[in-house]
């Protein structure tokens, strides 16, 4: 109970105090912080001796909200990161890499609304670990055997297995450019801050984006001027399959599964 009270005091002092000062007319701190914790819970990976949680959290806000808080963005992110770290500690979770909260612009979002995307920026330590288990022999003697953790039942160490994919530009000015994708969001278009920035002037600044949902990668058109096409069919939302050809402007991007 003492730790819970301390956590509440931390939240009131560092999170609510800061946001009430700078963001009283916009996004509410409680909503953002609770969504960060919810996503941390949803995307956790359960190991034999540890519960691993994503260390990177991208908070997407509207362009209007972003502009309003841009001058003190670093402080906002730092306060949210500290709260996330404290909450993970209270639950006994382990971060894979240093935790980081980043606030980014999503042009399609309305004012006061936001979305959160998480990802692991480093490989999980359980990938190369083993565990020893003592097994009783029929004659009553103990035998120690070594099992790789991936030989154990899936439910014993992980909540879900992430789908790993890659987007590679096969035609256009940026031929050869590629980006790996897992559970994070990938923005595509002319904007330099996009995960897949394009030189093609026939693409919009934010032309389309790929999200991770139900162990699939899904591409969505971002209300682009010239449209988004998958295998020569215009789409607004499409679940991607290995080998799909995505066309934005004069650029062709191939989606592959690793």
Do 171 and 89 have their domain in common?
no
Q: 16-25, 36-45, 146-155: which has the highest mean pLDDT?
A: 36-45
Task: Tell me, yes or no, if the pTM score tops 0.75.
Answer: no
133 found inside a domain? no
Quick check: 93 pLDDT over 70? yes
Averaged pLDDT for residues 95-106: 85
CATH of the domain at 67: 3.30.2320.60
The better pLDDT of the pair 128, 245 is held by: 245
Taking Cα atoms as reference points, which of 116, 104, 109, 118 lies closest to residue 33? 116
Range of the domain at 221: 165-257
List of residues 6+ apart from 163 with CB closer than 8 A:
182, 212, 215, 216, 217, 257
Tens digit of pLDDT for each residue in 41-55?
888 887 777 888 899
Taking Cα atoms as reference points, which of 153, 147, 142, 115 lies closest to residue 130? 147
- Identify the pLDDT of residue 5: 46
The better pLDDT of the pair 122, 254 is held by: 254
Do 188 and 252 have their domain in common?
yes
Quick check: 85 pLDDT over 60? yes
Averaged pLDDT for residues 183-203: 91
73 found inside a domain? yes
144 found inside a domain? no
- Identify the pLDDT of residue 65: 82
148 found inside a domain? no
Last residue in a domain, options 96, 119, 142: 119
Averaged pLDDT for residues 3-17: 50
Number of domains in the chain: 2
Do 169 and 244 have their domain in common?
yes
């Amino acid at each position: 109970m003492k730790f819970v009270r301390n956590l509440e005091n931390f939240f009131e002092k560092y999170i609510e105090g800061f946001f009430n000062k700078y963001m009283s007319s916009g996004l509410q701190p409680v909503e953002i912080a609770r969504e960060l914790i919810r996503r941390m819970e949803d995307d956790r990976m359960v190991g034999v001796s540890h519960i691993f949680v994503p260390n990177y959290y991208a908070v997407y806000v509207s362009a209007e909200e972003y502009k309003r808080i841009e001058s003190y963005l670093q402080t906002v992110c730092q306060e949210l990161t500290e709260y996330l770290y404290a909450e993970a500690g209270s639950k006994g979770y382990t971060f894979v890499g240093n935790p980081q909260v980043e606030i980014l612009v999503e042009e399609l979002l309305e004012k006061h609304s936001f979305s959160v995307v998480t990802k692991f920026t480093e490989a999980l330590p359980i990938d190369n670990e083993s565990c020893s288990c003592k097994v009783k022999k029929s004659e009553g003697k103990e035998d120690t055997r070594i099992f790789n953790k991936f030989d154990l039942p899936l439910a014993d160490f992980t909540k879900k297995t992430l789908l790993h994919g890659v987007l590679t530009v096969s035609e256009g000015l940026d031929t050869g450019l590629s980006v790996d994708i897992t559970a994070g969001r990938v923005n595509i278009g002319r904007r330099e801050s996009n995960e897949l920035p394009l030189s093609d002037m026939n693409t919009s600044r934010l032309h389309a984006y790929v999200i991770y949902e139900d162990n699939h990668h899904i591409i969505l058109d971002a209300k682009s001027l010239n449209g988004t096409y998958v295998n020569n069919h215009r789409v607004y939302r499409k679940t991607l399959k290995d080998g799909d050809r995505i066309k934005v402007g004069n650029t062709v991007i191939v989606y592959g599964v690793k």
